[in-house]
Amino acid sequence: MCCCGSCLTATVSPPDLDFNELSPGKQPPPLEKESQTASCFLTAIVNQKERETDSELQFLSSVLLRCSRMGVLMVQRVLLAVALLLIFALTLFVGLWFGLTADDATPPAECVRCFVRFNPTLGQCDEELGEVDEDDCCQNPQYGYQAADGVCHSCGPPLWSPWSPWSQCNVLCGDGVMQRTRKCYGAGECENATDALQIQPCSGSCCDGCVRCFAQFNPTLGQCDEELGEVDEDDCCQNPQYGYQAADGVCRSCGPPLWSPWSPWSQCNVLCGDGVMQRTRKCYGAGECENAADALQIQPCSGSCCDAQGWGLWLAWSSCSVTCGGGGVRRRERVCSGPPECRSACSGPSEETETCPTHSTCPVHGVWSSWSCWSQCSGSCINDQSDDVIVPSRKRHRSCSKPAPSSDTVPPGNRCPGDDVQVQDCSELPNCPGETMSKSGWSSWGECSSSCIPQGHTPVRTRYGSCSNPAPSSSPPGRHCEGVDRQTETCDHLPHCPVDGVWGSWSSFSSCPVTCGVGLQESIRLCDSPAPKHGGRSCTGERRQTNICTTNVHCPVDGMWSQWSEWNPCTHPYSGKSINCQQIGGKQTRERECLHRAHNGSICSGDALTESRVCYDVNRCYVKGTWEGWESWSLCSPTCGEKSRRFRRRYCKPDYSSYRSTIRGFPAAFFGTPQADCGLPPDGGKKVEVQPCVNAPSCP
């Protein structure tokens, strides 16, 4: 055997020629035989290999030029030989190179999670078999696999998923588009590969301004609840129980105007001395509430925090939140002394933070890569004839490289715990032919076909018998061993494989749940195809999807009673004449209205639009009276500014002892404000007291 051109140079000894000295103007030495022609080209090859600088094209051109007188036929033959020689040398070089570097350059193949089924509608895998090589898994085109990215892929030929539902219109008002998509699953490219997205025109229906519509409005908190979605404000407010949120983020009621309850009284607006506290209420609904200006009330108060000490001293700084790297912070706190009502004496933050740089780089601890697939077994059968049974083995590898531990930090990063190689006996192999059987006559049981019991399948394992203890003779012919030479059994002792949950199909949308206004249809899906079992992962994503339905029918608006009017004057019950300052029983009435009823809503509960009572008209009538202490203080008025005041009066109780207490059997009421004469106040004081409301809020 000879390698490359060594045997050629041994067969033909070319003369010493310096082709560097040859040029088109010089004549080559005379050559008399074809061997000399071959020598010309072989010498050129040798010189070319020594220089290793000229390209193959330059080299061939040089040969043609320098050996042009050797004869056309001979040149063609030699050129063919040279070309074959170069191809052979290049192929050998590449093969040797990849052979030397294959172990270092080729990373071990990583296994994939193999599944029995792939659902092209949902793009999901089902019924996991275990981890195998991707090529092994995809020998069945019905299977699917999940690689390290967690995405499920189909093993089958390329196939489009069904089209998704059409999206909502991409504009709220005017002309827009809606779209739907599909995905290509499988190995290769689907037909019409660019046809994965379709769009069609649509018109936005919220030209008057869409709002976020809610099924409930809480007038106590002024909050919306149970969002339905974005619809036109008029459509949302076809139901007076609903609320909506416009672009300003404020929640509003769709119902008639209604006052919220009064808020609790605020704390005193001064820490020490005279101040005011206040309470507010809000009007919700479409329109204006009765007494629209009565949304704020204030009353005097006295601050009780005259001895408040405010903030205490700052506590010590905490330790830095990190010990290496950057981004660390440390904190310190201070405490506000005094009761809760005095907390306003402490202005500013209760906590301070600042960055705390460190002077070392954090170590990077090593993390193992995924295991490679198992290698082939080191042998094809089990040798149990010798004293030591030789069982072939297989290996798989992993590397501490995701990431690798740092070596340039103090301290260095931790190495990955455990081994980077796993070795497993190939005990499922049969005994080698011609060798004696094991004691039982059977090989050891092989590995189970799966490391766990997948849903719907039971793994099995196999062992083999060899008719070799002794083997049947050939002359004279002996009988072959009776029975089977292969046994299988189920691996019932294994744990069940985790079964990840897979969503079932979406149900049809429910019918519209309302007969007026807008409602919310829903479609649900269950995590039952299959349901998660044996520690498998639950389904991710939404269980419920909704769609707004519009009836274009306004809901009934029930009536609401207005406040009672003031009592009408007390007059004679029959003639209607004035009975002022007379001890004659009269009658008076007051009214209310059933407001806001619309769209066939219910009338106000109760049928009393008017209320009446028996009375005496004592308005501005002179009567004797007795002092009965002070009336309650009024609220501050106006509710802002330096002129805010409140007042109270001494109560002069009129003496109605000369009047009958009942009129026609009903308790009598005294209408109006009499001019009661109680004389001078018992202590000589004032009849009316006025008090300024100090520190009232400034008027806007």
**Mean pLDDT across the stretch 684-691?**
87
Considering only residues 429 and 157, tell me which one the structure prediction assigns the higher pLDDT. 157
476 prior amide bond cis, ω within 30: yes
Q: CATH number of 502-550: 2.20.100.10, 1.20.1050.10, 3.90.1490.10, 2.40.160.40?
A: 2.20.100.10
Strand pairing partners for 662?
667
pLDDT at residue 90, as a whole number: 62
| Phi, psi for 87 (deg, rounded to 5) | -60, -45
CA 441, CA 471: separation in Å to the nearest integer? 12
Q: Is the pLDDT of residue 456 over 80?
A: no
Considering only residues 247 and 660, tell me which one the structure prediction assigns the higher pLDDT. 660
What integer best gives the mean pLDDT of the chain? Answer: 80
Q: Which of 230-239, 461-470, 634-643 has the lowest mean pLDDT?
A: 461-470
pLDDT at residue 317, as a whole number: 92
Where does the pLDDT of residue 79 fall: very low under 50, low under 70, confident under 90, or very high at 90 and above? low
Considering only residues 188 and 150, tell me which one the structure prediction assigns the higher pLDDT. 188
pLDDT at residue 286, as a whole number: 87
CA 388, CA 299: separation in Å to the nearest integer? 102
Q: Is the pLDDT of residue 128 over 50?
A: yes
pLDDT at residue 17, as a whole number: 40
CA 128, CA 114: separation in Å to the nearest integer? 6
Where does the pLDDT of residue 110 fall: very low under 50, low under 70, confident under 90, or very high at 90 and above? low
Find out whether 494 and 453 touch, Cβ atoms under 8 Å.
yes
**Mean pLDDT across the stretch 160-188?**
83
Range 43-51, long-range pairs (CB < 8 A, 24+ positions): 43/14, 43/15, 43/17, 43/19, 44/19, 45/5, 45/82, 45/85, 46/9, 46/14, 47/19, 47/20
Buried b (16+ CB within 10 A) or exposed e, 105-137: eeebebbbbbbbebbbebebbbbbbbbbbbeeb
Residue 250 amino acid letter? V
* Cα 165 off chain centre by: 22
Domain boundary assignment for the chain:
112-202, 206-255, 502-550, 560-692
pLDDT at residue 541, as a whole number: 85
pLDDT at residue 121, as a whole number: 80
Q: Tens of pLDDT along 45-75?
A: 445 444 444 444 455 455 444 545 445 445 5
Most confident of 454-468, 527-541, 639-653: 639-653
Q: Tens of pLDDT along 388-437?
A: 778 888 889 999 998 999 888 888 889 999 899 988 888 777 777 643 33
pLDDT at residue 384, as a whole number: 66
Helices (H) and strands (E) in the chain, counts: 6, 35
Q: Is the dihedral of CA 666, 671, 677, 680 positive or negative?
A: positive
| pTM for the whole structure | 0.52
Where does the pLDDT of residue 84 fall: very low under 50, low under 70, confident under 90, or very high at 90 and above? low
| Phi, psi for 8 (deg, rounded to 5) | -65, -45
pLDDT at residue 645, as a whole number: 93
**Mean pLDDT across the stretch 441-468?**
79
Residue 270 amino acid letter? V
CA 440, CA 461: separation in Å to the nearest integer? 17
Question: Which of these, 453, 455, 538, 534, lies nearest to 501 by C-alpha position?
Answer: 538
Q: Is the pLDDT of residue 614 over 90?
A: yes
Q: Which of 47-51, 298-302, 326-330, 493-497 has the lowest mean pLDDT?
A: 47-51
Residues sharing a CB contact under 8 Å with residue 572, sequence separation 6 or more, in sequence order:
578, 579, 584, 586, 587
pLDDT at residue 82, as a whole number: 62
CA 68, CA 173: separation in Å to the nearest integer? 84
Q: Tens of pLDDT along 345-374?
A: 788 888 999 988 777 888 889 999 888 888
Find out whether 219 and 258 touch, Cβ atoms under 8 Å.
yes
pLDDT at residue 232, as a whole number: 86
Q: Is the pLDDT of residue 7 over 70?
A: no
Residues sharing a CB contact under 8 Å with residue 588, sequence separation 6 or more, in sequence order:
567, 568, 569, 570, 571, 612, 613, 615, 669, 671
Where does the pLDDT of residue 98 fall: very low under 50, low under 70, confident under 90, or very high at 90 and above? very low
Q: Tens of pLDDT along 265-275?
A: 998 888 888 88
Question: Which of these, 169, 298, 222, 334, lies nearest to 643 by C-alpha position?
Answer: 298
User: In terms of C-beta density within 10 A (0-12 exposed, 13-18 middle, 19 or more buried), how is residue 555 classed?
Assistant: buried
Q: Tens of pLDDT along 489-535?
A: 888 888 888 888 888 888 888 999 999 999 988 899 999 888 888 88
Q: Is the pLDDT of residue 383 over 80?
A: no
| Tokens linked to 392 | 């072939």
| Phi, psi for 228 (deg, rounded to 5) | -95, -35
| Phi, psi for 98 (deg, rounded to 5) | -70, -30
pLDDT at residue 77, as a whole number: 61
Number of Cβ atoms within 10 Å of the Cβ of 53: 8
SS3 content of the chain, % helix, strand, coil (to 5): 15, 30, 55
Q: Is the pLDDT of residue 310 over 90?
A: no
Q: Is the pLDDT of residue 333 over 90?
A: yes
**Mean pLDDT across the stretch 217-225?**
91
Residue 20 amino acid letter? N
**Mean pLDDT across the stretch 543-566?**
90
**Mean pLDDT across the stretch 155-174?**
81
| Tokens linked to 291 | 């007494």
